Structure 1
């Protein structure tokens, strides 16, 4: 039997060029959008379909994650291709771009094969490896990678050697494709785990100097100035000083920020919480505020999930020995709705610019939007209460998910990619 529903009233965000429609209506059949507004109401009335009133909920385009990590796509214990796409879709993500870091580094054409799985719903994009094996010694065949499906080029979570970057930019085999680079110098960071500051000293964490971001960032900005025809993109900016550098740049590149840096800082976490172990290092309250302000002004282009799934064995290690990273696509929209919409007064359109439209621009992809006949939609209920649990059907497999056991407010209750039953009160 066809599964058909009329959401009326419901808030509707069609795309980046419109404000949300209040008291709107949408007819959905078998996961696909049939019609909006009065046409949807009239069609539903003719078919005898009873309306489901969800005036506080939001029907909106799917979210876009510009970079995350999947090291073992087929047989991973922490996460697989299927489990990642399932969890991402249930969280409202319609596109996920994977960084080249993997057991077999995605720096050759053959390593880009096997990821296009339409039955999984989520559109997967692949960043091709900028350097062979991510070692920063010689660059890969950039033109071949881009010709055979790579969305752009990226390296690991630190800046490759500047001479190597300079040569690649002069040769220009990447053309107009994005080159995603992390402004981080691991030698300056040393053993530092949390950004230097008063809160770090009080908590007893090894400090990570701000210069570990600002020095490589300055070099990258200079390279962008020298090569304005290239599309350098900055990955995971994390400090107030870095934001100031980016604002002052002559040719400012696009830049992303990890969602965790927008909701947590070294002054707000308990010492035993999972969120301390992350790259780049977690900053203080002033860093978090600067990042939020930069995102609101458009200095930062996109919010990334930057999921780095770890298994149980990895997470049993002490913080100083554990590989850094967090996972949890299902946490991002609820957390940022609370922080940016409820607390700071952002509009829905501003939030979607950070989570959907901006990431599409960074990836060079067409923006998501609601269209008749499409199943690319999500329904978010900002009042839905739920408890974060790794055992939930909506959760990824990864063991390094923050906020285990915590009650959260706001949840994606339905997504056209998964066509579940809509839960409403």
Structure 2
């Protein structure tokens, strides 16, 4: 299909400029002014005056729950939620049942991703068999089968010896190792950040040390092995400082921060409300400010949602019983734009880079993150001008477990195109 997107404010080559985009079949054919005058036979001509047009957003950390937990989410609903948020490429974690810890199981999930996904879905394989943290999987075979990277996300690797051997193997075959850093021996049954607010709510606290101590171990191991080590969802000021030190040492480390850790601190938790229970938990105001500073100074490379849908029953009642996790695909861009760009803390160009170009460059993802002639037509369109409300009935994910429902925001997704096909369009 030939589509002309006209008069949008296009983010391209690091700049915002009013351009037309000509799409022929699945590719961007041309960028410029007045492209309708080329006389191309068009099936659609869409006026985007006053709208922001960006590369499709890229999220390296989502949970789609299929196979094994489809009552929470499916590949179809998760990818529809991604499209609703302006994401066109996502990377799905392996905490599934069965776990993709061998080529046969990995390829089964990849086939489902292609069949049911409305966006591009890259699949993680696990570091250890069954994600049990003990016997290491065959990374060379998993990479050959198409694994995006390896991770036991949801669980930290508890023994240094296992992590060291995993890093050596990952470095040898050139696959990124992506780690959820958490020392289980330092959790002590916590359900929210250890601190004044946990005491006020009479809830057991989670030490930031459980994250930063294992991250410190891993960074030294990464220095020894030369692996591309990626730290998931940083949440503490100590973690930011450790990554900053590691980068100064030349260690091949990248890292991400989740929107909720930028937007909220533990003091924002109004009550014993399971919608505020996630892992890692919302930390202190000081931690929150360190994460923002880490993004701005380049220590933190990218933003990733950690979209983690759960059923309604799993997020009922006290934090002590509820599941950890928050959804993010459908709310991330609008909330970050509203809270940080409109207030002048971030530039729009920075936010778009952290959510598109940076993950593409750091993970060497092909054919994503940029609007350029010859590239696949993965494009998102946002309305920055009109305020809207985040409503549960508008979510396309099965999971509605977010405390942001009811929030007023700017930056609503108007349209998302994947390979030249409109996969989401806001109803008039």
Per-residue deviation at 1:44? 7.6
Q: Kindly report which structure 2 residues correspond to 1:241-260, keeping only aligned pairs within 5 A, or say none.
A: 241-249=238-246, 250-252=249-251, 253-260=253-260
CA 1:33/1:273 → structure 2, altered by over 3 Å: closer, same or farther? Answer: farther
- Give the alignment's Cα RMSD to 1 decimal: 2.9
Separation in 2, partners of 1:295, 1:339: 15
Bigger drift between 307-316 and 363-372 goes to 363-372
Per-residue deviation at 1:84? 1.1
Q: Kindly report which structure 2 residues correspond to 1:90-105, keeping only aligned pairs within 5 A, or say none.
A: 90-105=84-99
CA 1:33/1:421 → structure 2, altered by over 3 Å: closer, same or farther? Answer: farther
Give the total of aligned pairs: 417
Separation in 1, partners of 2:385, 2:404: 18
Equivalent residue, structure 2, for 1:407: 408
The answer to whether structure 1 residue 152 and structure 2 residue 149 are counterparts is yes
- Deviations, residues 348-404 of structure 1 (Å, cap 9, x unaligned): 221122111122234331342113474311111112333323322x52111313322
| Residues 314 and 323, structure 1, Cα contact 8 Å, conserved in 2 | yes
Separation in 1, partners of 2:45, 2:138: 57
Per-residue deviation at 1:168? 2.6
| Residues 118 and 423, structure 2, Cα contact 8 Å, conserved in 1 | no
CA 1:361/1:419 → structure 2, altered by over 3 Å: closer, same or farther? Answer: same
CA 1:424/1:391 → structure 2, altered by over 3 Å: closer, same or farther? Answer: closer
Separation in 1, partners of 2:47, 2:301: 36
Among 49, 52, 55, the residue aligned to 2:47: 52
CA 1:214/1:369 → structure 2, altered by over 3 Å: closer, same or farther? Answer: same
Separation in 1, partners of 2:356, 2:5: 25
Among 129, 137, 140, the residue aligned to 1:140: 137
Runs (5+) with no aligned partner, structure 2: none
Task: Give 3-state SS (helix, strand or coil) of 1:247's partner.
Answer: helix
Bigger drift between 168-177 and 205-214 goes to 168-177
Task: Give 3-state SS (helix, strand or coil) of 1:165's partner.
Answer: helix
| Residues 55 and 378, structure 2, Cα contact 8 Å, conserved in 1 | yes
- Deviations, residues 109-133 of structure 1 (Å, cap 9, x unaligned): 1211242416734111111110111
CA 1:31/1:215 → structure 2, altered by over 3 Å: closer, same or farther? Answer: same
Separation in 1, partners of 2:281, 2:372: 40
Per-residue deviation at 1:343? 1.7
Equivalent residue, structure 1, for 2:422: 419
Separation in 2, partners of 1:42, 1:89: 31
Task: Give 3-state SS (helix, strand or coil) of 1:329's partner.
Answer: coil
Task: Give 3-state SS (helix, strand or coil) of 1:139's partner.
Answer: coil
Task: Give 3-state SS (helix, strand or coil) of 2:396's partner.
Answer: coil
- Deviations, residues 247-292 of structure 1 (Å, cap 9, x unaligned): 1222341011112111111122322555421011210111111111
TM-score by length of 1: 0.89
| Residues 66 and 362, structure 1, Cα contact 8 Å, conserved in 2 | no
| Residues 33 and 372, structure 1, Cα contact 8 Å, conserved in 2 | yes
Separation in 2, partners of 1:423, 1:183: 38
Runs (5+) with no aligned partner, structure 1: none
Equivalent residue, structure 2, for 1:65: 59
